[in-house]
Amino acid sequence: MKRSFNVNDYWLERGKNYMRETRTPREFHRLQERFLVDVLGAGDIRMRKVLEIGCGFGRITQLLAETWPETHIMALDLSKEQLANARERCSNNTRIRFEQFDLYSDLPFPGGKYDTAVAVEVFLHHPSEFVARLVKCLGAVAQTIVNIDWSEKWSGPLPEHVWLHDYPKIFADAGMRCAAFLLPQRVDGKQQRLFVAARELPTGIAWLEEQWGSQNCPEGESMPGEIDPWREQLQLAITELLPVIPPESAFILVDDGQWGSIRALSGHRIFPFREHKGVYWGPPNNDAEAHDELARLRKAGAAFIAFAWPSFWWLDHYSEFSRWLRAECSCVLDNERLIIFKLPILQLTL
């Protein structure tokens, strides 16, 4: 059936109503968007000039423009209806240029060279042989390619507009290295991955890859989606922490000594809590001891205190200490993995 399937005809027709008929839960899209922004930010991805293919109604285009307000974006799509929706959605941004473009036309991408090419849920809608050619074309105009896709074995027969790809092989055949990061939520039993590919991976992405490993996904096989949930949580927690606590900042990490050495955090000065000669020294005996240790580490330069999920019990057990944090400090992140407080500046006395 796929031999006679015309990708362009399908998307030209579906593009007329796609914005109204998409069934992916909005909360998953929010998670996907946050994950994309966190990895791009933590990974030192250059975003001054961006090419987005398959921009659809402008969901990711708008996200990129709002996150990096100085970036220039060339956004391409086949559907004129989708482009009209995208232009309306992003009408206040003069740094975005939308163009109708047929990926099968063999025409060069407009706009010259780019820092990064972005494709979110695009490649899986094209045959593998075509994606291999497309990746080589993108690699000729962009330093880095970022794509998010479903890529594990499908539950049930594949829809006619879906293909599964061996992305590490496709990128390797194009002369690029590939790092892959697992999104932390499934939809209908399937789980997406974010792939970053370049001839030389950006420093931040190389750190993240070394810390968490690159999850390959051979075509037609199950993803290693039975990934250790601990590792998955740690991966996401660090991508959330990095944009909140500036590089080279000093912070206190409350993790009961469980995180270990994190290469992606090597630019930060980290104090375990409690700390003795740079080593985790066990939890405080009481609230007063927790206060004393915090005061000592603030004098040593700590500007934040971050509670990792294995140590959330602290905030119940040390109730007076917890009340002080919530009353005197700014909570800059609070989710199921991390609670981070910005500590007040010490008042120096003469």
DSSP for 89-152, please give it.
HTTT-TTEEEEE--GGG-PPPTTS-EEEEEEES-GGGS-HHHHHHHHHHHHHHEEEEEEEEE-S
- pLDDT at residue 1 in the model: 39
User: How would DSSP label each residue in 263-314?
Assistant: GGGTTSEEEESSEETTEE----SSHHHHHHHHHHHHHTT--EEEEEGGGTTH
Query: How far apart, in whole angstroms, are the C-alpha atoms of residue 265 and residue 259?
Result: 11
Does the structural domain 2-227 have CATH classification 3.40.50.150?
Answer: yes
Query: How far apart, in whole angstroms, are the C-alpha atoms of residue 155 and residue 265?
Result: 37
- pLDDT at residue 43 in the model: 84
Give the phi and the psi of residue 203 in degrees, each rounded to 5: -55, -45
Residue closest to 178 by CA, chosen among 168, 170, 193: 168
Query: How far apart, in whole angstroms, are the C-alpha atoms of residue 274 and residue 244?
Result: 22
- Determine the 3-state secondary structure of 153 from DSSP: coil
Give the phi and the psi of residue 300 in degrees, each rounded to 5: -80, -5
Q: Which residues of 167-193 are buried (b: 16+ CB within 10 A; e: fewer)?
A: bbbbbeebebbbbbbbbbeebeeebbb
Instruction: Confirm whether pTM is higher than 0.85.
Output: no
pLDDT band of 19, cuts 50, 70, 90: low
pLDDT tens digit sequence for 243-281: 899 888 899 999 888 787 777 787 889 999 988 887 888
- What does the domain layout of the chain look like in residue ranges? 2-227, 244-342
Name the DSSP letter for residue 343: P
Q: Which residue has the higher pLDDT, 219 or 307?
A: 307
Give the phi and the psi of residue 147 in degrees, each rounded to 5: -140, 150
Q: Which residue has the higher pLDDT, 19 or 65?
A: 65
User: Which segment of 81-90, 95-104, 234-243, 334-343 scores lowest on mean pLDDT?
Assistant: 234-243
User: How would DSSP label each residue in 43-76?
Assistant: TT---SEEEEES-TTSHHHHHHHHHSTT-EEEEE
Average pLDDT, the chain: 86
pLDDT tens digit sequence for 97-155: 999 999 999 899 999 999 999 999 999 999 999 999 999 999 999 999 999 998 777 76
The contacts of residue 336 (CB under 8 Å, 6+ apart) are: 309
- pLDDT at residue 165 in the model: 92
Q: Is residue 232 exposed (0-12), middle (13-18) or buried (19+ Cβ within 10 Å)? A: middle
pLDDT band of 239, cuts 50, 70, 90: confident
Residue in the block written with tokens 């996904």: 217
- pLDDT at residue 218 in the model: 37
